[in-house]
Amino acid sequence: MTQPHPVIQIKNLFKKLRSQEKFLIRHERTILSNITLAVSRGKVLGIIGLNGAGKTTLVKHILGLTRQSSGTVSIAGIPADQPEARKHLGYLPENPYYYDHLTPEELLSFGLCHQFLSRSEKKERIVSCLRAVGMAHAARKRLRTFSKGMVQRTGLALAMVSDPDILILDEPMSGLDPFGRKMVADLMLDLKQKGKTILFCSHILNDVERMADRIVILHQGRIAKEIRKEEMAGLSGELRVLVSGKLPPSEGASIEALQNGHSLVRCLPETLPDLLHLCRREGLEVLEIKSPESSLEAVFSQVIASTSTYACAEMAG
C-alpha cells in the first residue's frame, strides 16, 4: 500500500543567524537544526516546546516568510516561498493584530478578495466562518471593542475563510476561556474530519494530546522526540497516592515518608491495584489518589530534562 503524498514536506531544514563580526570573527547561531518532517492530508500535527525552542521560526518557514540556510520546505509539492504555495494555507498567528477600526465582517471580506465568488457566496462564507467560531453575534462590531479571546476567534475565522487545504495555527487556544477552548478544539476536530490538514503549536499539552495524530517535541531547535497517536495511548503519567501510615517497600513504587506520619507513593497506573492490595493488607487507608500531570506532560518533562543534560555534556566535552 503506497503512503499518501505529504502536503507539508520539510527535509534537512537548517536556519542559522549571523551576529555582528567581532575582531574579524563571524559568529553563527543555529535556530533550527536538521528538521525533517512530513504531514499527510487530513492529519493533525501538534508541535510543543519551551519558549525559544524554534516553533515560530519553523512556522515562518512553512509559510514561506523567511529563507532557510539549507534544506527544503514544500507545500503540496510546491516550494514554500512560491506564491502558489500560499494559496493552500490559512494562518493564525500567535498574537493576531488587525486594524481595530474594522469589523469581523470587513476583515474576512479582505481574506476573500482574491476568491472568484459572487457577493452572496462571499457573504455566506463569512457568516459560516464567524458562526463556526462563535462570533456571528459580533459580525458588525469594531475589533477595538473585543477581548483577546474574541480577537483570537476572529483570527481563526480569517484563517478558514478562503477554505484552504492546510491550516497553520500558532497557539490557537491563547486567550480563550474554557468555553472558547472547547469550541475551538471541537472545530479543529471537525475540520480534520472534512479532510483539512492542521499543524498547530501550543503550550496547552492536554489539548495537544487530545487533538493531534502526531506530536513533535521541539527543543533547542531540534526535533527531540516524535510521538504518534497509537503511542500516546501507551503513555502513562505517574500517580501520587497519599496513604495514612508507613508503608513497607513495594515493587514498582517510590515511597516517601512524610513528617505527619503519612506516606506519599509515586507509581504508574498499572501498579495501582498491587499498591491498594498492600494498603489493605497493612490496614492503611488511601487518603488521596492524584495524577498531577497528563501523560504528555510527563514525557515532555523527561525529554526536555534528558536533552538538556545531553546538550550540557556535549558542550562540556
Is residue 310 very low, low, confident or very high in pLDDT (cuts 50, 70, 90)?
very low
Predicted TM-score of the model (pTM): 0.78
What pLDDT score was predicted for residue 55?
Answer: 95
In whole angstroms, how far apart are CA 160 and each of 71, 129, 193, 280? 29, 7, 15, 56
Q: Which helix or strand (DSSP H or E) is residue 236 part of?
A: none
184/173 Cα distance (integer angstroms): 7
* Residue 187 DSSP SS3: helix
| 197-201, strands of its sheet edge to edge | 89-92, 166-170, 197-201, 44-48, 214-219, 222-228
Q: What's the pLDDT tens digit per position in 27-63?
A: 788 999 999 999 999 999 999 999 999 999 999 999 9
Residues facing 263 on adjacent strands: 243, 257
DSSP 135-158: -GGGTTS-GGG--HHHHHHHHHHH
> CATH 3.40.50.300 region(s) of the chain?
6-88+164-232
Q: What's the pLDDT tens digit per position in 208-261?
A: 988 999 999 999 999 999 998 777 765 656 788 999 999 888 877 888 889 899
203/36 Cα distance (integer angstroms): 22
- Cell numbers of 242, please? 497519599
263/245 Cα distance (integer angstroms): 6
- Cell numbers of 24, please? 574579524
Q: What is the mean pLDDT of the chain?
A: 88
What pLDDT score was predicted for residue 20?
Answer: 63
What pLDDT score was predicted for residue 25?
Answer: 60
State yes or no: pLDDT of 313 exceeds 70: no
Q: What is the mean pLDDT of residues 143-160?
A: 96
In whole angstroms, how far apart are CA 84 and each of 38, 56, 62, 63? 19, 22, 13, 11
Instruction: Give buried/exposed letters for 50-74 (b at 16+ CB in 10 A, else e).
Output: eeebbbebbbbbbbbeeebeebebb
Q: Which CATH number fits domain 6-88+164-232: 3.30.1370.60, 3.70.10.10, 2.60.120.590, 3.40.50.300?
A: 3.40.50.300
56-70, 129-143, 179-193, 262-276: least confident range: 262-276
Nearest CA to 301 among 49, 55, 51, 33?
A: 49
